[in-house]
Amino acid sequence: MPRPIVASIDLSALASNLTVIRGFAPGVHIWSVVKANAYGHGLQRIWSSLAGTDGFALLDLNEAVMLREQGWQGPILLLEGFFKPEDLTLIDTYRLTTAVHSDWQIDAIGRHRFSAPVDIYVKLNSGMNRLGFAAEHWPAAAAALASLEQTGHLTLMTHFAHADMPEGVAQQEAVVEKAGRDWQGPRCLANSAATLLYPQTHHQWVRPGIILYGASPSGDWNDIANTGLRPVMTLKSELIAIQDIQAGDRVGYGGRFQASGRQRIGVVACGYADGYPRHAPTGTPIVVDGVRTRTLGAISMDMLAVDLTPCPLARIGSPVELWGNQVKIDEVARSAGTLGYELMCAVAPRVPVSFGQY
Ligand SMILES: *Cc1c(COP(=O)(O)O)cnc(C)c1O
């Protein structure tokens, strides 16, 4: 028997989340963001559940090629553009839309021979200072691209740094207004948080990622609890041992948890080598046998300990939900000082994945 851990992917929740997102942005085109192997969910197996999308956005040329070869005929957007001029050959062959964020990319496109014009997202740096042309330079970059015979459709693109936080998007929107004052073409600005919170940023295309997978862009599940979005991934395992411990006994590496009285603890087949966060402290929520309880002590490489005080019926083989519908990935992430984004992407290759309805 393999270890009992499994990441279960609910494809109906994925499709349903896309429908929920359409409700937030009616009449707007949706790029479903599936970078990083669909946020750790397994792009190859999940994309067809999102076939109602208008396009897929990702970074990796290999993932783009895989989508085409699997039969996706709609648009594919390379969010970071291309990394070397020779990438343009694949972009042309597989009819990919590419972001352009630097002058060298404009030169490379101008020198490349395409079989058909290439659609381009011209990236504006509106304040995140990662990728993109400065507002003063953006109109010239867009004009330079527009003058090339290689260029197909052009779209103004920018990325928000804190749409999920109180600062919102106003400052960056002002930069977009400045750069795009004379721009009549389409715009694509909104990530998940802006898709939910700022309809004025929707324009022609939105780019939701994390909400497709049913987690919160802010890291707080309460922020999306009433949207109808559903968790797509459930990480589950089983109890593989039970210990009865006494007052003063300690649990796990470093003895970080010490019992104050007699209690029963369970040992779960899941550790940081599976992608569970090593920094999750005692008290991180977890569900055993359908009952919410808490982790105890340090997370080991392959195991972790749980408090069985609220679960008197639990026995070896009882089911454990590390995250999913009963305990949200956002809650675990928050307890460990990270975000659902990181936990999803970090599920280890050794964890078997099952697809279907939960
Ligand atoms: C990852 C990413 C997104 C999606 O972000 P979410 O917060 O997951 O919605 C959108 N646009 C760009 C450029 C990205 O890199």
| Fold annotation for 11-220 | TIM Barrel (3.20.20)
Query: Domain boundaries in the chain?
Result: 11-220, 233-356
Ligand 1 binding pocket (C-beta < 6 A) is 33, 35, 79, 159, 191-192, 207-210, 217
Distance 256 CA to ligand 1 centre (A): 37
Secondary structure in 3-state letters for the chain: CCCCCEEEEEHHHHHHHHHHHHHHCCCCEEEEECHHHHHCCCHHHHHHHHCCCCEEEECCHHHHHHHHHCCCCCCEEECCCCCCCCHHHHHHHCCCEEEECCHHHHHHHHHCCCCCCEEEEEEECCCCCCCCECCCCHHHHHHHHHCCCCEEEEEEECCCCCCCCCCCCHHHHHHHHHHCCCCCCCEECCCHHHHHHCHHHCCCEECCCHHHHCCCCCCCHHHCCCCCCCCCEEEEEEEEEEEEECCCCEECHHHCEECCCCEEEEEECCCHHHCCCCCCCCCCEEEECCEEEEEECCCCCCCEEEECCCCCCCCCCCEEEEECCCCCHHHHHHHCCCCHHHHHHHCCCCCCEEEECC
Distance 258 CA to ligand 1 centre (A): 42
Q: Give yes or no for a contact between 219 and 186, defined as CB atoms under 8 angstroms apart.
A: no
Residues counted in the chain: 358
Question: Ligand 1, closest atom to CA 341?
Answer: 8
Among 30, 33, 37, residue to substitute to test ligand 1 (most atoms within 8 Å of Cβ): 33
CATH top-level class for 233-356? mainly beta
Find how far residue 64's CA is from the centre of its chain.
Answer: 17
- Looking at residue 356, its pLDDT comes to 77
- Looking at residue 358, its pLDDT comes to 38
Distance 203 CA to ligand 1 centre (A): 16
Q: Which residues are annotated as a binding site for substrate?
A: 130, 301
**Catalytic site residues?**
35, 253
Among 18, 191, 210, 343, residue to substitute to test ligand 1 (most atoms within 8 Å of Cβ): 191
By C-alpha distance, which of 56, 52, 82, 80 is closest to 67?
56
Rounded Cα distance, 328 and 231, in Å? 7
Per-residue pLDDT tens, the chain, 358 aa: give them: 789 999 999 999 999 999 999 999 999 999 999 999 999 999 999 999 999 999 999 999 999 999 999 999 999 999 999 999 999 999 999 999 999 999 999 999 999 999 999 999 999 999 999 999 999 999 999 999 999 999 999 999 999 999 999 999 999 999 999 999 999 999 999 999 999 999 999 999 999 999 999 999 999 999 999 999 999 999 999 999 999 999 999 999 999 999 999 999 999 999 999 999 999 999 999 999 999 999 999 999 999 999 999 999 999 999 999 999 999 999 999 999 999 999 999 999 999 999 975 3
- Looking at residue 2, its pLDDT comes to 83
- Looking at residue 58, its pLDDT comes to 98
- Check if 11-220 and 233-356 are the same fold: no
Question: Ligand 1, closest atom to CA 164?
Answer: 7
